[in-house]
Amino acid sequence: MRKIRIMVILIISLAVVIVIGAFARKLISPRHYIHDVVLAEDIVIDSNWKDVGSRELLPIEKDNYGVALSLQPGYEVDPVRGIKSPGEGPIVVPEVLLVGQDGREYKLSFGGARRYRDEIFANFKFDGTLPKTGFSGVRLRSEKPLPLKRVVWSGYNTRDLP
């Protein structure tokens, strides 16, 4: 009987240690809660519309979505006004349209910036609720030429925010 009691105590103790360890790891380890799908790399957008996308519909499993433009070195983001060109260059706010699978276009507005590792992203979001029917791509243009590292379809769940 005593051996059984000791075994039960050991098993319960081990389970408690595993649960505490998993909880501590979740708290301590950095999370990247944003899911990005790369639509284009190393492109320059200008006054002509440029269409970017993937062969499949863009995924819509998250609560919140938008388009993020990864900026080339030297470009910065003014969180209120837009993308600042190198030096004393002008502020640029490109036009970004999300294209539904039915061809309908949704105008996205500038929504600030985020940094991940060595990249600075200018974020564009839809002011309202996007339909969950699927999207085929993104259309971009800018009054001034704007070189980009990447264009990404970016999504996250509100509950995952730090």
Enumerate the domain spans of the chain.
Answer: 1-31, 35-156
Give the residue ranges of DSSP H helices in 35-110. none
Residue 29 to residue 94: CA distance in whole angstroms: 36
DSSP 144: S
Q: What integer pLDDT is reported at residue 29 of this predicted model?
A: 46
| Beta strands at 135-141 and 146-156: parallel, antiparallel or unpaired | unpaired
CB 97 within 8 A of CB 136: no
Q: What integer pLDDT is reported at residue 5 of this predicted model?
A: 83
Q: What integer pLDDT is reported at residue 24 of this predicted model?
A: 62
Q: What integer pLDDT is reported at residue 100 of this predicted model?
A: 86
The four Cα atoms 153, 147, 32, 118 give a dihedral, to 10 degrees, of 170
Q: Letter for the amino acid at 137?
A: G
Long-range contacts (CB closer than 8 Å, 24 or more residues apart) made by 115-118: 116/32, 116/34
Q: What integer pLDDT is reported at residue 50 of this predicted model?
A: 95
Class for the domain spanning 35-156? mainly beta
Q: What integer pLDDT is reported at residue 127 of this predicted model?
A: 84
Give the residue ranges of DSSP H helices in the chain. 2-28
Per-residue CA distances from 137 to 45, 141, 151 (Å) = 15, 14, 11
Residue 62 to residue 155: CA distance in whole angstroms: 6
The rounded average pLDDT for each run of 10 residues, N- to C-terminus, in the chain (162 residues) is 82 84 58 73 95 79 82 89 85 92 91 85 86 85 94 77 60
